[in-house]
């Protein structure tokens, strides 16, 4: 049973995992378990070239980012479980109130779920149909979708991040969206106190 399962190993999903990974080092989150499904075959990063994203050297390809972001996550925050190559097919809630996450091969359980699978309409995870709306900020002819949400909150324990949350498709926006969800979850873990996770350079005396 994971406390949080993030579905989608693209920009928003990995960004969410990085901030939650940093929260796991805090006393209020020490017993929490976080997993991310790092399937990347359907990522916008596959063909992207990034010259205008904050902190990313111009000329970086999405292919490089797909590799380096997961390496960053495993090196810096090894407590976050990365589950590779599992395309999630269905999501439901058990009578006990936890989520049942189903891939072709396995079933996983989590108390909270962050859906960050991008806004392409070709495939939607079964169980999310009731929340699907046309993407509010994409061209209609592209037939993008979003999940109805209020500041990323979809339903009890269920969040959406990235372009699927209705944001425009820019890397920095998707990354910020994933990080935003992570701090909302960290705030709940931290007794509902507004929470952000910062590191600082040690000051010399």
Ligand X SMILES: Cc1cc2nc3c(=O)[nH]c(=O)nc-3n(C[C@H](O)[C@H](O)[C@H](O)COP(=O)(O)OP(=O)(O)OC[C@H]3O[C@@H](n4cnc5c(N)ncnc54)[C@H](O)[C@@H]3O)c2cc1C
Pick the closest to residue 9 from 91, 86, 79, 102 (CA basis): 86
Q: Which is nearer to ligand X, 102 or 190 (CB)?
A: 102
Torsion angle, alpha carbons of 100, 194, 178, 138, to 10? 110
User: Exactly one of 29, 34, 35, 171 binds ligand X (CB under 6 A); which one?
Assistant: 171
Q: Which two tokens stand for residue 202?
A: 């040690």
For ligand X, which residue of 27, 31, 52, 199 counts as binding (CB under 6 A)?
52
* Cβ distance to ligand X smaller for residue 107 or 205: 107
Part of the chain binding ligand X (CB under 6 A), chosen from 19-27, 43-51, 74-82, 148-156: 43-51
From the list 21-29, 111-119, 128-136, 179-187, the region that binds ligand X by CB under 6 A is: 111-119
| Position 47 contacts ligand X (CB under 6 A) | yes
Number of residues that bind ligand X (CB under 6 A): 35
Residues 6+ apart with CB under 8 A from 156: 97
Q: Is residue 60 involved in binding ligand X (CB under 6 A)?
A: no
Binder to ligand X among 29, 53, 154, 182 (CB under 6 A)? 53
Which CB, 174 or 197, lies closer to ligand X? 174
- Site map (CB under 6 A) of ligand X, residues 3-22, x = contact: ----xxxxxxx---------
Rounded to a whole number of angstroms, the CA Rg of the chain reads 17
User: Where do contacts with ligand X occur on this chain (CB under 6 A)?
Assistant: 7-13, 37, 39-45, 47-48, 50-53, 87-88, 116-118, 125, 162-164, 169-172, 174
């Amino acid at each position: 049973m994971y406390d949080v399962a993030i579905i989608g190993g693209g920009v928003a999903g990995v960004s969410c995992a990085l901030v939650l990974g940093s929260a796991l080092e805090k006393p209020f989150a020490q017993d929490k378990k976080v997993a991310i499904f790092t399937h990347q075959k359907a990522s916008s990063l596959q063909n992207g070239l990034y010259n205008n994203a904050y902190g990313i050297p111009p000329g970086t390809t999405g292919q490089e980012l797909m590799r380096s972001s997961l390496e960053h996550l495993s090196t810096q925050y090894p407590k976050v479980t990365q589950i590779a190559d599992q395309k999630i097919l269905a999501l439901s809630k058990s009578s006990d109130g936890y989520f049942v996450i189903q891939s072709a091969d396995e079933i996983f359980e989590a108390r909270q779920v962050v859906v960050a699978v991008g806004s392409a309409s070709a495939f939607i995870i079964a169980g999310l149909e009731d929340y699907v709306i046309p993407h509010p900020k994409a061209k209609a002819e592209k037939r993008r979708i979003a999940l109805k949400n209020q500041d990323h909150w979809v339903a009890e324990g269920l969040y959406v991040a990235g372009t699927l949350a209705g944001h425009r498709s820019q890397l920095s926006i998707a990354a910020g969206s994933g990080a935003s969800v992570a701090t909302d979850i960290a705030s709940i873990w931290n007794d509902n106190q507004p929470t952000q996770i910062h590191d600082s350079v040690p000051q010399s005396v």
